[in-house]
Amino acid sequence: MKPSGILLVLAQRGWQAASGVLTIVLIAHCMSPQLQGWYYSFLSVAALYTLVDLGLSVVLVQHVAHRFVGLHWGAQGEPVGPDAQRFMQLMRWALRRYVFLAVLFAMLLIPGGALFFSQRDDGFSWLAAWLALALSTSLNIVTLPCLAIIEGSGAVREAYAIRFAQGVLGAAACWVVMLAGGQLWAAVMPAAAGLCVVSIVVWRRRPAMLRIVLSGATDAAALAEEIWPLQWRVGLTWLSGYLLTQIYTPILFHFQGAVVAGQMGLSLTIANTLGLLAQSWIARSVPAMGKAAALRDWKTLDAIFRRDLQASMLSFGAGVVVVCCLYALLADSVYLLRVLPFGAMLALLGVVFANHLIGALAAHLRVHLREPLVWVSVAAAFLSVPAAVWAAANQSAASVVGAMLAVQCCLALPLSLWRWHGCKKSLRNP
| Each residue's pLDDT tens digit, 240-268 | 777 777 788 889 988 888 889 889 988 98
Write down the mean pLDDT value for the chain. 83
Q: Which pLDDT tens digit goes with each residue over 277-295? A: 888 778 777 777 777 777 7
* Residue 3 confidence (pLDDT): 46
**Which residue would you say has higher pLDDT here, 409 or 216?**
409
Residue range 338-355: average pLDDT?
A: 91
The pTM for the full model equals: 0.73
Q: Which domain holds residue 186?
A: 3-428
Number of domains in the chain: 1
Q: Which pLDDT tens digit goes with each residue over 94-108? A: 888 888 889 999 999
Q: How far apart are CA 106 and CA 403, in angstroms?
A: 33
Among 98, 355, 422, 381, residue whose Cα is nearest residue 231: 98
Instruction: Give the least confident one: 5-9, 356-360, 375-379.
Output: 5-9
Contact predicate 277/17, CB 8 Å: yes
Instruction: Give the least confident one: 124-138, 215-229, 284-298, 328-342.
Output: 215-229
Helix, coil or strand: residue 217: coil
* Residue 218 confidence (pLDDT): 67
Residue 346 exposed, middle or buried by CB count within 10 Å (0-12, 13-18, 19+): middle
Helix, coil or strand: residue 363: helix
CB atoms closer than 10 angstroms to residue 199 = 14
- 224 — pLDDT class (breaks 50, 70, 90): low
Secondary element (H or E) of residue 147: helix 144-152
**Which residue would you say has higher pLDDT here, 372 or 418?**
418
Q: What share of the chain in percent tops pLDDT 70? A: 91
**Which residue would you say has higher pLDDT here, 226 or 249?**
249
Q: Which residues contact 40 (CB under 8 A, 6 or more apart)?
A: 249, 261, 262, 264, 265, 266, 268, 269
